Structure formats: C-alpha cells, structure tokens
Structure 1
Amino acid sequence: MPLVGCLLRLCSRQHLPLYARVRQARVAIAGRLPDGGRMSVTVAPEPDAPSITRNLVGDACLRWGPAELLHPARTVMSELVTNGVEHAGTELTVVVTRRGSGLQAAVADCIDRRPQLIARRRPRRGQPLDERGRGLQMVAATATAWGSLPTPVGKVVWATLQQAREEQPVAVPRRRHPNASAPHR
C-alpha cells in the first residue's frame, strides 16, 4: 500500500484508477475490455467475493443499461455468489451477459448439488436470527427467471433480469348511459 499512498498524494487518481486490492483491479480491467456484451470474473470463496461480483454486475448495468436494473441485479448477484461461497466453497466463475433489454447473471461452481427454494419458516427456538433460505426467495422474487444447470464439473446457477415493460393504456370506448338523450342535430 505504500505505492498507493504515494500515488494518491500525487493526485494520480485523476489519470490512473487505483484499487485497494488486486482482485478489485482485475474485475475493473475485465470490465473495461471490449467484450460484446459479456463480462466475467473468477473469485475465490472468500467474504469479499459478493462485493467483487456486485461491482462487476454494476459495471455491466451502467455500461449496457438499463440503469433501473442496477440495484435488483446487484442484489441477485450478491445472493447467488453468497450461496456459492457458503454452500459450494469452491472457486466461482461469474458471468454477466447482456440479454436484449436485460441481463443474465450466472455463477458456476464445482459442486453438483443443485440449489433448492425452501419455504419460509419461523426462526428456530433460541436462534432468532436464523433466517435460512431467504436468499433464493429474494432471487425468485426479483429475477424474471432463475434456475440451475448441471455441468461436467459442478453446476451453474443463473438468473435473468429484464426491464419492466411499460403497460400501454388501452383505449376503452365510452358507453352512453341508456337514459341519456340523443345528441341534437
């Protein structure tokens, strides 16, 4: 970090992006390469993995749009990666792909056990903060679609987010009340 401190004192941030960790710099570099609608990063199963991948999907949303997907996509990515870190515990390959007016987030790991959406239940007695299963419920509620696919070395868990379609007002013909008088001609 001494070099970073020197560069910050010299105001180099205006000309050169600086990152606190090498992994953050790698994500930023991967996100700035020409890619035709696809960004990816591989992360270790560590506590900062969700943060790194939230930044990746955030960069994708800001680059490709629509910006309204920024927060939902970051939430979904965070949940998918947190599940991968907690349940798979293997290196994760994260891919964000542009899909029409939306995005698809995919997290691949090396464990073949597929995720299951479990019904909400009350916290267990003596463990009021035990809220298991809420991550995939949040993914299911936020994403347009989600699922998992087996791979030769594990699985891929994916979620698609689409821009909300604006409902066009439907023109409804006015009905004349039966007691209304006919127009005068």
Structure 2
Amino acid sequence: MVERCLETGVVTVRFQGVLNQSTAPGVHNTLSKLAAECPAAIVVDMSALDQVDKACFSVFATATFKAEQDWGVPLLLYAARPEVSRVIGTYRNFVALYEDRSLALAAVRAHVPRWVRERLAPYPDSVRTARGLIGDACLRWDLPHVRDAARLIVSELASNAVQHTGADFDVTAAYTGRYLRIAVQDRSSARPRRMTGPAAEHLEPGWGLRVVEAASTHWGYLSVPTGKIVWSLLTTDR
C-alpha cells in the first residue's frame, strides 16, 4: 500500500506479510522507485511485517542509504513489532526507526522539507499561475539557475492538464538538495500526449512534451487511483 500526501509531500508505504529472500527484492524495488519520485520523505509502516529471515532486513539499510545518496530523500521506519524492532536494531547506525507515525512525521518536519503545492482550476490562466508558483519556489530555495527550465516544464505539464482533463489539478514542487521535482497530478488516467494545433498556441507556451524531454534530467508519469502524476526532475548542481 502506497499513499502520497499532496499537503506535505510525504509518501507512506506499508509492507505486510513475510520478509524473506523471495520478497526482499520487491521491497527494495518499491522503495527505490518511490525515492526516484523525490518526495519530501518516505515513511515506512512496519506494523504488518513479519520477521522470517533476519539477514533480509538489511534491505531497509540499503534502501535508506540509496534514497539519501542518489536522490537526497530521507527514509524513516515506524511501528515495527518488538521482534522486528530488535532485528532492525542491528542496523541502527543506518536506519531511523520510530515508535509510531506521529514521531516519524515529526522527524520529517525537523528536516524542513522544501515543498509547495497548489490546486488549480482547468482554465488557461492556471498555466500562468503554475509558472509563477514554480518560479517563486526556485527563488526562495536559491535555485535561480534552474528557474527558466522549471517554469517552462511546468507550463507544459499544466497545459496538458488543462487541455485534456477538464478538472482541477495539483501542481507541486519539491527540492531535496539534489533535485528539483516538478509534478502535476490530474484526474485523467490517459498517458501524457504531445500538444499540437491551435490549442497548443492558445495555452502558452505550448511547446509540447519535447520541452519536458529536453529540459529534464529525468521525467515520466505514474498512474495513481485518482488519475496520474506527470513529473520532471531537474538536477540542481551549479
């Protein structure tokens, strides 16, 4: 189970059942994919996870290290059963384990995640609003060197949401210290499409998804129960 909170930028994942040599790779892959989305943080609910193979719990130490090293994303665990907590204690120098969700989220807030979000209506003026939101965030976070690219990218993502969904959509930005993540979550399950024709000219700048492809370090889209998230990552190295 995975939940993405638009208000805080925190992703919560809950694993349940048996952790062994057969299931550990799936746990690792899930955490790796979530870290690559560059959320404000990942918190892992351990309450339904059973201990079987003690050596397999190293997957959480590895995932924590990779999330921070590759993406700048903190990964925190919480609510482990006593027997699981004892095993995780073996890796206490590499993982952060908290008694419950509230303590884990308090630790996330202590990191002061840089996260902004705004819900916009499906009107052409919302494209300009999205561009302003991202541009202002870049200035607040001392990222003027990626501001132009970020504004251009969000213009395309917001334009696609306005043209193709006809419903409110959410624009978010997160800065992990390594990447600036720009994302638009809309209520359509259709994959993102290139814009062409008069509509593209009306929804400025209307350059198409080729702008996202050219300007992003990485980009892609993710299906969620309420629609999809189209995201772009920009490296923030000067």
TM-score by length of 1: 0.60
- The structure with the largest helix share of the pair is 2
Partner Cα separation in structure 2 for residue 131 and residue 51 of structure 1: 14
* Residue type at the aligned position of 2:182: A
Deviation at 1:163, TM superposition (A): 2.6
**Conserved 8 A contact 2:177-2:236:** no
CA RMSD across the alignment: 2.4
Secondary structure in structure 1 of the residue aligned to 2:140: helix
Which residue of structure 2 lines up, in the alignment, with residue 38 of structure 1? 115
Structure 1's 106 and 74: CA in aligned 2 closer, same or farther, altered over 3 A?
same
**Can you give the 5+ residue segments of structure 1 that lack an aligned partner in the other structure?**
1-34, 166-185
Any idea what SS the aligned residue of 2:134 has? helix
**Segments of 4+ moved more than 4 angstroms:** 129-134
Equivalenced residues, count:
123
Shift of 1:65: 2.3
Q: Give the distance between the partners of 2:200 and 2:156, measured in 1 at CA.
A: 13
TM-score after normalising by structure 2? 0.47
Q: Determine which structure has greater relative contact order: mean sequence separation of CA pairs < 8 Å that are 6+ residues apart, divided by chain length.
A: 1
Q: Is the 8 A contact 1:65 1:101 kept in 2?
A: no
> Deviation of residue 138 (structure 1)?
0.8
- What is the deviation of 1:99? 2.5
Residue 190 of structure 2: aligned partner: 113
Counterparts in 2 of 1:154 and 1:91: CA distance versus 1, 3 Å: same
- Secondary structure of the 1:115 match is coil
Aligned counterpart, 2:229: 156
The residue aligned with 1:142 is 215
The percentage of counterpart residues that share the same residue type is 37
Q: Secondary structure at the match of 2:137?
A: helix
**Unaligned runs of at least 5 residues, structure 2:** 1-111
